[in-house]
């Protein structure tokens, strides 16, 4: 513009004064500069500031705050895990991590050296090797490795040793103080998980990793709630990294993890694990086993054991002795490379961590018949009056299926079929039910879906699809399914379905969590007891319970080895073939599915042993002389286990009239025999005995030979000790319960023969009269007849 004016000026000639021309040029050029520097130049600046302060504000502020603040995490305490009685299953305690700051340590050493050189007071020993040696001695960490870490001269955080317990950390603290290591070596608090019961319920509780994160079991499933929310302390720091305490500080309190109360009962878990272990030893079981104890009314798991197991305090160690040895050799063997070893170690660890109750499937075998019979009764295709005939086998679609009893059970009713675990009868029941209904019930009993138990890695059944099962070619599958073979389900699926069978038909969601509490003990969350559906009616359920009680209670029941007088145990044995891939066809899983008391089941258990070792391949007997079957292995272990559990739970005992009176037996003469002989004689006649004294031979017995006393009574055998000859005084029994009566009489070396009107004698049944009056002196070993009556409570209107 200025130039234009210039041109114009020139064209108009030189009349105009130079000065004026000149001035105009200055004027317009100044205007131009004014526009350029007074306005235009600032446009990009303002734009840029807008970009930084408004558009990128959040981002830049965040990044600035990042460097301006020191954000310290305040760890939240991990919640404690309790059993259902408040016993601590898992807890956290403070431990220390040993941290090396090579930068600070080297500075400290340098400073010390300077002082030494200057002749000032200093530590003459202080150098890297000295510190490394000292720390190595206390912690056991290799000194060479510590020196290596010291080489990272720029680092200020090298973890030398994790989770040191108090005594070790105190030694380290003393070492740091003694050598004035300052910030070069320091302790950092951390927390460590302790499991007071070690291996107890290891598969349910699970364990945590190095950073206290849950890896397995409840620790994993409830990790979030157990961990809580870490708190933070945010402080300002300046560019040199120094904290500025005068500047803002911000605290966010840590929220401690919730305490978790499980449905698991440590005592019952102990019983279950003991029964599992004893059976494994007794029957030379090759592949471990599992045991679940469930409260059928809620689906709560009282105990869940899986063998092999491991110590939760050292979950990464291999606890199987053979496996541990093999791995040790492998590690020492230079021919085996690191990866192979690690792979094998991993496999061994996974194997012991595996919770077979939920992670694995198996063929349930005859235990499944309890579900089949429930379905059949519910559908009305069979009744207690149904008749079956078993000639030892049954032909289904060109395939002959044998009964366990090769000679056949002959004519039998439904109860007999259940009691005998008769395969042909059950094939018939299955066929009466029909494939469609059968499949419906499998579905309804939850065998085709996950139970949704709150444990990790749950598996579910491997079952034919419906189309196949209902088709012509599925007909033999229906037959085998009727006695629990050729399909696979998890133990938790089976016991959940079985609980529904006996609890009145209610299929519950199994669970291990009962409720959670906050640090003050207030209940925060309660695991909702959830019924998925009612599968069968209350009546059908009761009927099946009766049938199952007979399996155990009847003289010829396949489960009779589980019988315990006074506990009304019902159940079903199972001897499943292992027909899966990678499984040996001659191997069996022997199991017992039991419940008690049969009139109102309080617990359901499933106890199984995987592959008891036959004495020779193909044999049906173990080297110890036990026939390999659920009835001979599962039942005898399950019976006492149920007894223990019911006793512990304080469930009333109930005696049948028959149990109370017993069939009388005549006592043998045992005087003069060695103990072993006496013991086998007692066993043959159905007596038990108690040893008094520790001589070799029996020197006296109560009662004397030829006395008639109730069968199963306890004989007193004096071995070397003097047999008392003074008479016994009959105690006053009035108002005592059957159990108390028996005990009172036993204390006086007397025997009880009970009778009365009730069908079952419980603590509500009381002694009404005794055949020998109280106070009478009688010979020891005398039988006292006691009559019990039920204590009837009459309701009266209040006076």
Partner 1 sequence: MAKKRFRDKTYRQQLAGGPVDLPFLMLVLLLTAIGVITVFSASFGSAYYENGDPSRYFRSQLILAVGGVIVMFLVSRVDYQYLRRFARVALIASIVLLLLVKVPGIGVTHQGANRWIRLPGFQFQPSEIAKVGVILFFAAKLAARQPEKKRKWDPRTRKGRVLNFLERIGFLELLPYMVILLLMAGLLLIEPHMSGAILILAGGAAVLFAGGIHWGWFVVGGGALASGLWFIMTHTDYMARRLSTWRDPWSDAQNAGWQTIQSLYAIGSGGLLGKGFGRSMQKFLYLPEEHNDFIFSIWCEEMGFIGALVVIALFVLLILRGYWLALHARDKFGALLIVGITTLTAVQVFLNIGVVTNLIPPTGISLPFFSYGGTALIIQLGEMGIILSVSRQIEAPRLG
Q: At closest approach, how far in Å is the CB of 3 from partner 1?
A: 6
Residue 611 DSSP one-character state: -
Stretch that binds partner 1, among 15-23, 261-269, 273-281, 700-708 (CB under 8 A): 15-23
**Rg of the chain on CA atoms, in Å:** 40
Return d(Cα 696, Cα 704) in angstroms, integer: 19
Tokens at residue 761, please? Answer: 């004698």
Q: Which helix (H) or strand (E) holds 465?
A: none
Considering the complex, state which of residue 247 and residue 533 has its C-beta at the smaller distance from partner 1.
247
Residue from the set 22, 250, 584, 747 that interacts with partner 1 by CB under 8 A? 22
Stretch that binds partner 1, among 19-27, 609-617, 689-697, 759-767 (CB under 8 A): 19-27
Q: At closest approach, how far in Å is the CB of 64 from partner 1?
A: 4
Nearest residue to 438 via CA among 407, 409, 456, 464 = 464
- 153 contacts partner 1 (rule: CB under 8 A): no
Residues 381-410 that bind partner 1 (CB under 8 A): none
Residue from the set 31, 72, 174, 411 that interacts with partner 1 by CB under 8 A? 31
Considering the complex, state which of residue 27 and residue 468 has its C-beta at the smaller distance from partner 1.
27
Tokens at residue 17, please? Answer: 């004064």
Residues 54-113 that bind partner 1 (CB under 8 A): 54, 56-57, 59-61, 63-65, 67-68
Residue with structure tokens 């309890």?
A: 370
Q: At closest approach, how far in Å is the CB of 17 from partner 1?
A: 10
Stretch that binds partner 1, among 53-61, 91-99, 481-489, 520-528 (CB under 8 A): 53-61
What 3-state class would DSSP assign to 382? coil
351 alpha-carbon distance from chain centroid: 15
Q: Which residues of 456-491 are buried (b: 16+ CB within 10 A; e: fewer)?
A: bebbbbebbebeebbeeebeebbbbbbbbbbbbbbb
Q: Which residues of 184-213 are buried (b: 16+ CB within 10 A; e: fewer)?
A: bbbbeebbbbbbebebbbbbbbbbbeeebe
Handedness of CA 259, 264, 270, 273 (dihedral sign): negative
Sort strands 708-710 and 664-666 into parallel, antiparallel or unpaired. Answer: antiparallel
- 14 contacts partner 1 (rule: CB under 8 A): yes
- 8 contacts partner 1 (rule: CB under 8 A): no
Considering the complex, state which of residue 10 and residue 114 has its C-beta at the smaller distance from partner 1.
10
Q: At closest approach, how far in Å is the CB of 253 from partner 1?
A: 25
Considering the complex, state which of residue 64 and residue 198 has its C-beta at the smaller distance from partner 1.
64
- 53 contacts partner 1 (rule: CB under 8 A): yes
Return d(Cα 762, Cα 788) in angstroms, integer: 10
In whole angstroms, how far apart are CA 56 and each of 67, 69, 431, 579, 729?
A: 17, 20, 75, 67, 100
Residue from the set 52, 178, 325, 708 that interacts with partner 1 by CB under 8 A? 52
Q: At closest approach, how far in Å is the CB of 238 from partner 1?
A: 4
Q: At closest approach, how far in Å is the CB of 184 from partner 1?
A: 24
Nearest residue to 498 via CA among 637, 592, 359 = 592
Nearest residue to 656 via CA among 594, 581, 738, 595 = 738
Return d(Cα 457, Cα 453) in angstroms, integer: 10
Considering the complex, state which of residue 22 and residue 677 has its C-beta at the smaller distance from partner 1.
22
Considering the complex, state which of residue 16 and residue 533 has its C-beta at the smaller distance from partner 1.
16
- 26 contacts partner 1 (rule: CB under 8 A): yes
What 3-state class would DSSP assign to 761? strand
Q: At closest approach, how far in Å is the CB of 61 from partner 1?
A: 4
> What would you measure as the largest C-alpha separation in the chain, in angstroms?
165
Considering the complex, state which of residue 64 and residue 314 has its C-beta at the smaller distance from partner 1.
64
- 45 contacts partner 1 (rule: CB under 8 A): yes
Stretch that binds partner 1, among 48-56, 415-423, 570-578, 609-617 (CB under 8 A): 48-56
What are the strands, taking DSSP E only, across 102-258?
Answer: 158-164, 185-194, 231-236, 249-252
- 3 contacts partner 1 (rule: CB under 8 A): yes
Tokens at residue 71, please? Answer: 């954000």
Considering the complex, state which of residue 34 and residue 524 has its C-beta at the smaller distance from partner 1.
34
Residue 580's contacts (CB-CB under 8 Å, 6 or more residues apart) are 362, 363, 488
Sort strands 531-534 and 506-508 into parallel, antiparallel or unpaired. Answer: antiparallel
Considering the complex, state which of residue 14 and residue 796 has its C-beta at the smaller distance from partner 1.
14
Stretch that binds partner 1, among 45-53, 437-445, 519-527, 590-598 (CB under 8 A): 45-53
Considering CB under 8 A, how many residues would be counted as binding partner 1? 45
In whole angstroms, how far apart are CA 420 and each of 388, 409, 424, 513?
A: 12, 8, 11, 38
- 316 contacts partner 1 (rule: CB under 8 A): no
Return d(Cα 641, Cα 273) in angstroms, integer: 10
Bridge partners of residue 675, in order along the sequence:
none
Residues 282-301 that bind partner 1 (CB under 8 A): none
Q: At closest approach, how far in Å is the CB of 30 from partner 1?
A: 5
Residues 224-243 that bind partner 1 (CB under 8 A): 236, 238-240
Considering the complex, state which of residue 239 and residue 650 has its C-beta at the smaller distance from partner 1.
239
Considering the complex, state which of residue 243 and residue 777 has its C-beta at the smaller distance from partner 1.
243
Residues 683-702 that bind partner 1 (CB under 8 A): none
Return d(Cα 286, Cα 82) in angstroms, integer: 33
Stretch that binds partner 1, among 39-47, 375-383, 491-499, 502-510 (CB under 8 A): 39-47
Q: At closest approach, how far in Å is the CB of 103 from partner 1?
A: 16
Return d(Cα 426, Cα 204) in angstroms, integer: 35
Q: At closest approach, how far in Å is the CB of 10 from partner 1?
A: 9
Nearest residue to 611 via CA among 594, 628, 593, 596 = 628
Considering the complex, state which of residue 60 and residue 178 has its C-beta at the smaller distance from partner 1.
60
Question: Could you tell me if 697 and 674 are in contact, meaning their C-beta atoms sit under 8 angstroms apart?
Answer: yes
- 12 contacts partner 1 (rule: CB under 8 A): no
Nearest residue to 265 via CA among 299, 295, 303 = 303
Considering the complex, state which of residue 34 and residue 177 has its C-beta at the smaller distance from partner 1.
34
Return d(Cα 408, Cα 423) in angstroms, integer: 10
Per 3-state DSSP, what percentage of the chain is helix, strand, and coil (rounded to 5)?
Answer: 40, 25, 40
Q: At closest approach, how far in Å is the CB of 20 from partner 1?
A: 11
Stretch that binds partner 1, among 13-21, 421-429, 496-504, 613-621 (CB under 8 A): 13-21
Q: Which residues bind partner 1 (CB under 8 A)?
A: 2-3, 14, 18, 21-23, 25-27, 29-31, 33-34, 37-39, 41-42, 44-46, 48-50, 52-54, 56-57, 59-61, 63-65, 67-68, 236, 238-240, 244, 247
């Amino acid at each position: 513009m200025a130039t234009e004016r210039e041109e114009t000026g020139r064209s108009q000639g030189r009349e105009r004064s130079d000065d004026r021309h000149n001035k105009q040029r200055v004027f317009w050029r100044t205007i131009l500069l004014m526009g350029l520097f007074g306005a235009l130049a600032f446009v990009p600046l303002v734009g840029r500031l807008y970009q930084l302060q408004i558009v990128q504000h959040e981002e830049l502020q965040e990044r600035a705050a990042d460097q301006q603040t020191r954000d310290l995490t305040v760890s939240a305490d991990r919640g404690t895990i309790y059993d259902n009685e408040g016993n601590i299953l898992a807890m956290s305690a403070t431990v220390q991590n040993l941290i090396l700051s090579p930068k600070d340590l080297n500075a400290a050493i340098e400073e010390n050296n300077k002082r030494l050189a200057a002749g000032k007071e200093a530590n003459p020993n202080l150098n890297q090797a000295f510190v490394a040696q000292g720390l190595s001695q206390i912690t056991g960490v290799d000194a060479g490795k510590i020196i290596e870490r010291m080489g990272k001269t720029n680092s200020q955080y090298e973890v030398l040793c994790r989770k040191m317990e108090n005594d070790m950390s105190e030694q380290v603290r003393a070492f740091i103080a003694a050598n004035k290591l300052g910030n070069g070596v320091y302790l950092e608090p951390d927390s460590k998980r302790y499991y007071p019961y070690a291996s107890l319920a290891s598969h349910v509780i699970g364990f945590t990793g190095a950073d206290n994160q849950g890896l397995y079991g409840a620790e994993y499933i409830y990790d979030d709630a157990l961990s809580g929310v870490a708190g933070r302390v945010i402080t300002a720091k300046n560019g040199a990294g120094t904290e500025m305490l005068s500047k803002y500080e911000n605290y966010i309190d840590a929220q401690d993890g919730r305490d978790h109360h499980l449905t698991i009962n440590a005592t019952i878990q102990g019983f279950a694990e003991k029964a599992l272990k004893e059976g494994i030893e007794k029957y030379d079981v090759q592949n471990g086993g599992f045991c679940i104890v469930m409260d059928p009314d809620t689906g709560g798991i009282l105990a869940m054991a899986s063998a092999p197991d491991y110590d939760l305090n050292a979950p990464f160690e291999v606890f199987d002795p053979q496996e541990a040895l093999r791995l040790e050799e492998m590690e020492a063997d230079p021919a085996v490379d690191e990866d192979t070893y690690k792979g094998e170690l991993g496999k061994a660890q996974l194997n012991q961590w595996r919770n077979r109750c939920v992670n694995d499937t198996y063929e349930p075998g005859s235990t499944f018949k309890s579900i089949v019979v429930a379905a059949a009764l519910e559908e009305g295709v069979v009744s207690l009056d149904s008749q079956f005939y078993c000639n030892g086998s049954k032909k289904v679609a060109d395939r002959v299926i044998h009964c366990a009893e090769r000679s056949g059970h002959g004519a039998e009713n439904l109860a007999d079929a259940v009691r005998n675990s008769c395969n042909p009868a059950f094939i018939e029941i299955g066929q009466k039910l029909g494939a469609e209904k059968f499949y419906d019930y499998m579905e309804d009993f939850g065998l085709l879906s996950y139970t949704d138990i709150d444990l990790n890695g749950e598996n579910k059944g491997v079952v034919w699809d419906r189309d196949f099962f209902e088709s012509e070619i599925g007909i033999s599958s229906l037959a085998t399914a009727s006695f629990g073979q050729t399909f696979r389900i998890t133990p938790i699926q089976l016991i959940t379905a079985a609980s529904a069978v006996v609890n009145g038909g209610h299929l519950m969601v199994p669970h291990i969590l009962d409720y959670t509490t906050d640090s003050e003990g207030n209940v925060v969350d309660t695991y909702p007891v959830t019924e998925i559906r009612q599968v069968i009616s209350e009546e059908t359920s009761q009927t099946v319970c009766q049938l199952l009680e007979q399996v155990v209670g009847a003289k010829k029941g396949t489960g009779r080895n589980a019988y315990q007088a006074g506990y009304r145990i019902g159940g079903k044995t199972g001897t499943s073939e292992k027909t899966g891939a990678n499984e040996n066809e001659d191997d069996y899983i022997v199991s017992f599915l039991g419940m008690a008391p049969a009139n109102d089941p309080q617990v359901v258990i499933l106890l199984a042993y995987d592959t008891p070792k036959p004495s020779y391949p193909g044999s049906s007997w173990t080297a110890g002389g036990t026939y390999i079957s659920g009835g001979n292995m599962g039942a005898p272990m399950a019976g006492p286990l149920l007894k223990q559990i019911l006793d512990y739970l304080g469930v009333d005992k109930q005696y049948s009239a028959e149990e109370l009176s017993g069939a009388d037996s005549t006592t043998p003469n045992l005087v003069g025999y060695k103990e072993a002989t006496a013991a086998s004689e007692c066993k043959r006649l159905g007596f038990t005995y108690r040893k008094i004294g520790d001589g070799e031979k029996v020197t006296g017995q109560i009662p004397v030979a030829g006395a008639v006393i109730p069968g199963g009574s306890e004989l007193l055998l004096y071995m070397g000790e003097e047999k008392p000859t003074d008479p016994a005084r009959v105690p006053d029994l009035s108002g005592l319960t059957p159990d108390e009566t028996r005990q009172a009489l036993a204390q006086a070396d007397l025997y009880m023969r009970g009778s009365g009107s009730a069908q079952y004698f419980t603590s509500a049944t009381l002694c009404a009269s005794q055949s020998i009056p109280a106070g009478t002196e009688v010979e020891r070993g005398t039988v006292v007849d006691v009559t019990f009556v039920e204590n009837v409570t009459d309701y009266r209107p209040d006076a």
